Amino acid sequence: MALLPRPPEPPRMSRLLNKRLIRIVVAILTFVLTVYVILKSRHGGVGVVLPLLGYRETPKAYHFSTTSSFQPVSINPTGKTKEELCATFPKHLLNYVQPVLKMGHSEDRAKIEAHLDSVLACFGKDDLLIMSDLDDTIREYKIVDALADLPQSYYNLLKNRDFKSYMWQREMRDNGTLHGEDPTATKLIDGWVIDKYKFLPMIERAWVTKPDKPFYFFLEADTYVFWDNVFRFLQTFDPDVPIYMGSPSPGRHDEKREIKTWFANGGPGFVLSRGAIKALLHRKSGPNGHYIEPRITEKWLSLLSEECCGDSVMGWALWNADVGLQGYWPMFNPHPLHGIPFSDLYWCQPVLTLHKTTPNDTVDLWRWEFGQRKLHRPLLYSDLWRFRHPGEPRILSNWDNGDWDSWFPPPEAKVNSLESCEQFCRREDKCVQWNWRGGNAKICILMRSIRFGQAREPEMIPEKRGAKREETHGGEKPQGNWVDYNSGWVAERINRWIGERRCKEANWVGPSVTRIF
């Protein structure tokens, strides 16, 4: 007989629950560890970045200090040669940022020549990569056909019919008819369709040709780049983090994650860090080291053959490599120089790029920029306003300052002339400029932002389909409406608006895909 009673045993059900709980915890920890190891292996040691980078809440703006590396920082460009201006360019930073120009063989050569005399003028033949759809040479620069070594699957026209334009272009080049006098044959080549195929092989080729650069800056033949601001900005980032930045455009819907994706519009340029390219180009390998995944150009061909645009497919490929877009609009700007709608969105922010700027404006702006740089302050949109001074003179005929950020007078206002359009604008406190489309149109457009615009001659605007034609004694009246363009600005409001916005510091915007063009 026991002297002391035994302690009561726990109920059998309680012991089973404790063991089950331990097994669940161990299983969860094992799963988490396994996922981590797989992802770590997949990215070859590069830190995994969730695809929500750029989609998370971030500061709306950064106010970090930056310094220009141009020496001297600012010089008077008047009378200076390209060589004298380029002597100030910080060539050592091309070890940090690799410029890559994407163009097409059918590209307007005036754009290319203007770029080589401005935005690209300070790059030697070994500094700049030029990717196209045919091998060529312009000046001392070798142009690489980025499509020349694509996989055989691209040449299957049953599945990839758009590739026939590239095949015809090469065939015509080889038989000497590409620049012949047969316009019918030349029309078979659609340079815009060919363009979509360049994005992924361009990135592959850039990495192989100039490997391991911290950042790669991709631009097009009508992209204006403010290199001083680009160098300042990119030096604030870790290049080993997968970073993909540009001006956001809506992309595909990710059904698995239930989220809308975004890609960088190619026109204003985009940037990939070393970490981003490594993630994009990574391929799984087997135990003996052989790759068991195809190259990205082959991996995404089926999607590319269906899509209109290569920048969209590139963005989707990056997304699937866990590299989400960081949107930096308005610093990456889809507007041309003459089309910038100056407002609070385009004023105290540094400007990195412009799109569709004319060849003449490109060269003039590049030279002007050399006299504007400051050691500790990047070039802002407010500085760029001084290049054209929208609002001087007060009225321009045969000039179109657009319809951005606009509204119309109500019908009861009976605005039916240039003079009444200007008067109505002056009665509206928020109106800083107006556009009168005369002739048959008689349209008054009022605007809240300041835009320079461009020359535009009177023209015939085609009638909408199905519109009834008028009969005249000489037969049918010509289809369409005759329109002339007149633009005006309210100078005193513009000057007051500018005086209230002195930009004490640069507003480097944070990444966002909700703040979009």
Please state the pTM of the whole predicted model: 0.86
What is the model's pLDDT at position 47?
38
What is the model's pLDDT at position 338?
96
What is the model's pLDDT at position 44?
42
Distance in angstroms (rounded) separating the CA atoms of residues 207 and 470:
62
Q: Which helix (H) or strand (E) holds 487?
A: strand 485-489
DSSP label at 23? Answer: H
State both tokens at 388. 């054209």
Closest CA to 274 of 323, 211, 194: 211
Low-confidence ranges of the chain (pLDDT < 50): 1-11, 13, 16-17, 35-51, 53-54, 467-478
What is the model's pLDDT at position 4?
39
Output Rg (C-alpha) for the chain, integer angstroms: 29
Structural domains of the chain sorted by starting position, each given as residue range(s) with its CATH number in brackets: 61-327 (3.90.550)
| Number of DSSP helices (H) and strands (E) in the chain, helices first | 16, 25
3-state helix, strand, coil in the chain (%, to 5): 35, 20, 50
Distance in angstroms (rounded) separating the CA atoms of residues 27 and 506:
51
What is the model's pLDDT at position 57?
53
What is the model's pLDDT at position 59?
74
Residue 367: exposure state from Cβ atoms within 10 A (0-12, 13-18, ≥19): middle
* Residues ≥6 apart with Cβ < 8 Å to 103: 112, 130, 131, 132, 143, 220, 221
Distance in angstroms (rounded) separating the CA atoms of residues 281 and 396:
52
What is the model's pLDDT at position 20?
58
DSSP label at 449? Answer: S
**Which alpha helices (DSSP H) does 210-348 contain, by range?**
227-234, 274-281, 296-299, 301-306, 310-320
Distance in angstroms (rounded) separating the CA atoms of residues 432 and 341:
11
Helix 274-281 to helix 199-209 angle (10° resolution) is 110
What is the model's pLDDT at position 178?
86
